[in-house]
Amino acid sequence: MTKKRFSALPGFGLTMGFTLFYLSALVLIPFVGLVIRACEISWADFWRLATSDRALASYRVTFGASLIAAVANAAFGTLLAWVLVRYDFPGRRWIDAIIDFPFALPTAVAGLTLASLFGANGWLGQFLVPLGIHGAYTPLGIVIALTFVGLPFVVRTLQPVLQSLEREVEEVAATLGAGRLRTFLTVVAPALAPSVLTGFALAFARAIGEYGSIVFISGNKPFKTEIAPYLIFMRLEEYDYAGAISLAVVLLVFSFLLLGAINLLEQWAANFEHQP
Amino acid sequence: MAAAFSSQDSEALKKSQRGTDESPFVKWTLITVALAFSAVFLLLPLLNVFGQALARGWTFYWSSLTDPDSWAAIRLTLIVAGIAVPLNVLFGLAAAWAIAKFKFRGKSILITMIDLPFSVSPVVAGLMFVVLFGLQGFFGKWLDAHDIKIIFAVPGIVLATVFVTFPFVARELIPVMQATGTEQEQAALTLGASGWQTFWHVTLPSVKWGLLYGIILCNARAMGEFGAVSVVSGHITGQTDTMPLRVEKLYNEYNVPAAFAVASLLALLALITLAIKTFLEWKQARDFRKAQEHKPDSRASGGAMDYPLSTNS
């Protein structure tokens, strides 16, 4: 019955055909091309190129900074979502509107302005640098840029969940004698946990691949502040295609593992919401 | 079900909430921390762009923007977005129509494939096109023999931009088209409208806000893309530098005020994008509330006459 109703509309052949053609030409063929080239590299070469000292150092910088930034986003993102949903204060709507600013701002501009802000002569740097806090051309700068870039993820994942959270449950807990902190930890926090984790994973995944903003703020010093995507770029500049592709494969495999994890987390979060 | 509570309940609800709220001290501490964090990570970076861009006065600002090489970068960015965005809109409409209005096997795989570009690092995306069209690439020799330049030329920049902005329109449109269902299109077809007429006069108006939402996000990313474009552009000043690449070049040449001048245009684009986005979300929330208000009435009068909601976004 439903099948018949759906096939009554025209244009399936045309739109599906165009969709598959366009998808193949612009996404699948480039993707398969990279995979074929990667398969042409011998296992020994791949291992040597993907685990050179400089490559390992770049993974450490990339994953380390991304992890710290994602943790910062989880903490401050949760706080921001909570404050925006639960409290009323002057300027609340403006902050709510500007949360997505990091998504809208080109990454190059983000890197440029953050590097300037935290540089020795910058608005913040002039106070921070004398205190020994160097926010530009250091690993800390990478963390700052990645925190900026990933900021909206946790807030935007959490906001709808917080809004739909039923206050009655908290009231019951309070009536039964639980203090506010205990209510939060035992009633509210478990309900938020899947969404916080999802937002964390999204911010982490985004941070792993980030390039534009880091280039400006990190200084790109090999072994110190060089991220993996930048090393891919350098290998390409040297026409070392095998080197670039090997690193790209490592990044891609990790991205897909994270994507799988995010899908599982989202399912978990959805189950949580549908519980009575 | 929350809407079912009447006003007398809400008075009691308010009273009991007082017992479940944080103390004013905790509340205002949290608000202060949130405001401070937003100031450092959102407000100051934004103000700093315009502050630095105008630090040397309007004359310098204007001359930085009208510098031939910067001007060429602005033009190229507009051209690239002018090609990439319409292409992805066309694709988004086709994909959403096929996915939302029909049933077929492998639908979820198709949706995953469409989302694929979002999980690829921009630099890796650029690398994919170098592997295909670069001199050592699959089609490199053939392209070279026929004197066609893709990598280190405008076509490569367009391809890389299309790739990174690929899912935006489709992923906004699919849920909207699914929500509107197929009843209205079927009514139009029954009344004798052709397929195209149905699409133009029934489907398109019902998804227009969702489409606009997808377009502005797609455009913002297309104009601001850095990583993927950086790999394929070749950085030829005045020829293959887009605005973000121009910003980097000026920065590396220690011409920071000029870099900020070009960057300020991109920041302005981000602000306009945010403003339209906020407006569309506000509109969507308002339409949703309206639809919710009408719902109980229709149920009370007609029972089963629950007309399909034309959710606009």
Residue with tokens 């009273």: B15
Q: What is the pLDDT of residue B312?
A: 32
Reply yes or no on whether the pLDDT at A134 is more than 70. yes
The structure's pTM equals 0.89
- Least confident range from A126-140, A168-182, B137-151, B164-178: namely A168-182
Residue that is written with structure tokens 């999980």 in the block: B119
pLDDT digits (tens, 9 = 90+) for B196-251: 999 999 999 999 999 999 999 999 999 999 999 999 999 999 999 999 999 999 99
Decide if pLDDT at A262 tops 60: yes
Which chain A residues have a beta carbon less than 8 Å from that of B45?
105, 110, 113-114, 117, 148
Which residues of chain A lie closer than 8 angstroms to B110, CB-CB? 19, 23
Choose the weakest-confidence range: A135-149, B201-215, B278-292: B278-292
What are the structure tokens assigned to A228, written together?
């993996």
Please state, for a pLDDT cut of 90, what percent of chain B lies above it. Answer: 76
pLDDT per residue over A48-66, tens digit each? 999 999 999 999 999 999 9
Give me the domains of chain B, ranges plus CATH numbers.
55-281 (1.10.3720.10)
Helix, coil or strand: residue A210: coil
Interface predicted TM-score of the whole assembly (ipTM), two decimals:
0.91
Residue spans per domain, chain A: 64-214+261-274
CA angle A143, A144, A148 (to 5 degrees): 115
Which residue in the set A113, A166, A211 is minimally distant from B123, CB to CB? Answer: A211
> In Å, how far is A92's CA from the nearest CA of chain B?
9
Alpha-carbon distance of B205 to B32, in angstroms, equals: 44
| B174 near A CB under 8 A | no
Contacts 24+ apart (CB under 8 A), B131-137: B131/A30, B131/A33, B131/A34, B131/A37, B131/A241, B131/A245, B132/A29, B132/A30, B132/A33, B133/B159, B134/A241, B136/A239, B136/A241, B137/A33
CB distance from B92 to chain A under 8 Å? no
Q: How far apart (Å, rounded) are the C-alpha atoms in residues A264 and B121?
A: 21
Confidence of residue B3 (pLDDT cuts 50, 70, 90): very low
The yes-or-no verdict on residue B8 having pLDDT over 60 is: no
Q: What is the DSSP letter of B149?
A: -
Mean pLDDT of the region A143-170: 92
> What's the mean pLDDT when you consider all of chain B?
88
In the structure encoding, which two tokens stand for residue B173, read together?
């449109």
Residues 101-160 of B with CB under 8 A from A: 101-104, 110, 113-114, 116-117, 119-125, 127-132, 134, 136-138, 159
CA B95 to centroid of chain Cα atoms: 17
Q: Residue B126: pLDDT band by 50, 70, 90 thresholds?
A: very high
Amino acid (1-letter code) at residue A17 = G
Contact of B247 with B263, CB cutoff 8 Å:
yes
Q: From CA A190, how far away is CA B242, in angstroms rounded?
A: 47
Backbone angles phi, psi at B113, to 5 degrees: -60, -40
Cβ separation of A7 and B102 shorter than 8 Å? Answer: yes
Task: Determine whether the interchain pair B248/A216 forms a contact, defined as Cβ–Cβ distance below 8 Å.
Answer: yes
What is the CATH architecture of A64-214+261-274? Orthogonal Bundle (1.10)
Helix, strand, coil percentages in chain B from 3-state DSSP, rounded to 5: 80, 0, 20
Tokens of A135: 């926010």
Q: Which residue has the higher pLDDT, A261 or A7?
A: A261
Q: How far apart are the first and last CA of chain B?
A: 22
Q: Return the residue in B9, B18, B20 with the most chain A beta carbons within 10 A, the one to mutate for interface testing.
A: B20
The overall average pLDDT reported for chain A is 91
Rounded Cα–Cα distance for residues B163 and B228 (Å): 9
Closest chain A C-alpha to B120 CA, distance in angstroms: 7
Instruction: Read off the pLDDT band of B311 (50, 70, 90).
Output: very low
pLDDT band with cut points at 50, 70 and 90 for residue B267: very high
